[in-house]
Amino acid sequence: MNDLRSKSNLDFKFIWFSMIAIVLIVLESQSAMLHSARVVISIPVKPLLEVAQVPAHVKVIYRNMFEERELLRDLNRKLDEENKALREELIDLKNAEDRNEWMGELLHASDKHKIPVIAAVPTSIQLEPQAQKIVVDRGSRDQVVLGQPVIDHRGVIGQVTAVSMKNSAVTLITDSTQSLSVRVRRSGIKAVVHGLGDSDKLRVSGLRSEHDVVIGDILVTTGFGEKYPVGYPVAEVISVERDKNTSFANVAAVPLAAHDPGYAVMLVWPNRDLGSDEVPIVTLNDAAQK
């Protein structure tokens, strides 16, 4: 009797909990409503994420054992961030050239130098291998928001897809859920880049066989949809196959940015106006001066 009651209680509980889980999944897939719930749920998990990074830290410490490690590492990090910021300015300069050529784009690319950024270091956390995702050491307390673009000195890395208090997950452009609108820097033709779930390959769609695209062309962001800043390098074309029958060109590309654990990446707030909004952390110019 008692056993019977506990069994039916089990069914009852099972149904209730599954309904909660299904509601969560539906909400999660339809909206950003659970964003703050995630921040709360991930609080107890934070120490575990720290523990999981210990082996990687130990490895680094072991490697630096015979050097004056504190000193060198700090210097190295400082120089690295400086270098990155400077290179990003270089990208901006290159873009200025581009903008001269493409007067039409000029209207959308206003005050590019005032885009606020923050440096973040990728952690050694390894999420499911089939997902092209990294975890960085900035979260909601650093005002990281969902959908925020992430770049490095070479180009676009991806966008923030989940945020907790002190960390956030960045889904790389190579993930199969990602696609972004680009144009060929040299000829200005627009196309779309799709991730394939493969860390060094991207598919480029929307190009016809008569379009001017060759191996080695650099694809840059268009800023369409205002998710990514305008004119950042995304990928380099590695193969172009022109199919006579379909009139479409099969184009493949490699991502230009590569995340290396320990090297800083930049989180960007492309839509935030420096003057009006809460607290932008640093601008590209500030970062260069540091």
Contacting positions for another protein (CB under 8 A): 7, 10-11, 13-14, 17-18, 20-25, 27-29, 34, 37-38, 41-42, 44-45, 48-49, 51-53, 55-56, 124-131, 133, 135, 161-162, 164, 167-169, 176-177, 197, 261
Q: Supply angle C-alpha 42, 135, 138, rounded to 5.
A: 75
- Of the pair 31, 245, the CB lying nearest another protein is at 31
For residues 175 and 223, what is the distance between their CA atoms, to the nearest angstrom?
A: 19
- In the 8-state DSSP scheme, what is residue 137? S
- Of the pair 160, 251, the CB lying nearest another protein is at 160
For residue 263, the minimal CB distance to another protein (Å) is: 15
8 A C-beta contact, residue 191 and residue 184? yes
Query: Which amino acid is it at 224?
Result: F
Stated length of the chain: 290
For residue 224, the minimal CB distance to another protein (Å) is: 21
Closest by CA position to 98, among listed 208, 12, 214, 221 = 221
- Of the pair 44, 104, the CB lying nearest another protein is at 44
For residue 259, the minimal CB distance to another protein (Å) is: 13
- Of the pair 47, 275, the CB lying nearest another protein is at 47
**Radius of gyration from C-alpha coordinates of the chain:** 22
Bridge partners of residue 159, in order along the sequence: 149, 171
- Of the pair 149, 280, the CB lying nearest another protein is at 149
For residues 96 and 110, what is the distance between their CA atoms, to the nearest angstrom?
A: 11
Q: What are phi and psi of 56, to 5 degrees?
A: -65, -40
Q: What are phi and psi of 113, to 5 degrees?
A: -75, -10
Q: Which helix (H) or strand (E) holds 274?
A: none
For residues 35 and 19, what is the distance between their CA atoms, to the nearest angstrom?
A: 20
- Of the pair 106, 254, the CB lying nearest another protein is at 254
* Phi-psi label, residue 151: left if phi above 0, alpha if psi -120 to 50, beta otherwise: beta
For residue 267, the minimal CB distance to another protein (Å) is: 15
In angstroms, what CA-CA distances link 115 with 36, 89, 124? 26, 12, 28
For residue 34, the minimal CB distance to another protein (Å) is: 5
For residue 211, the minimal CB distance to another protein (Å) is: 27
For residue 159, the minimal CB distance to another protein (Å) is: 13
Query: Which amino acid is it at 24?
Result: L
- Of the pair 64, 124, the CB lying nearest another protein is at 124
For residue 53, the minimal CB distance to another protein (Å) is: 8
- Of the pair 90, 127, the CB lying nearest another protein is at 127
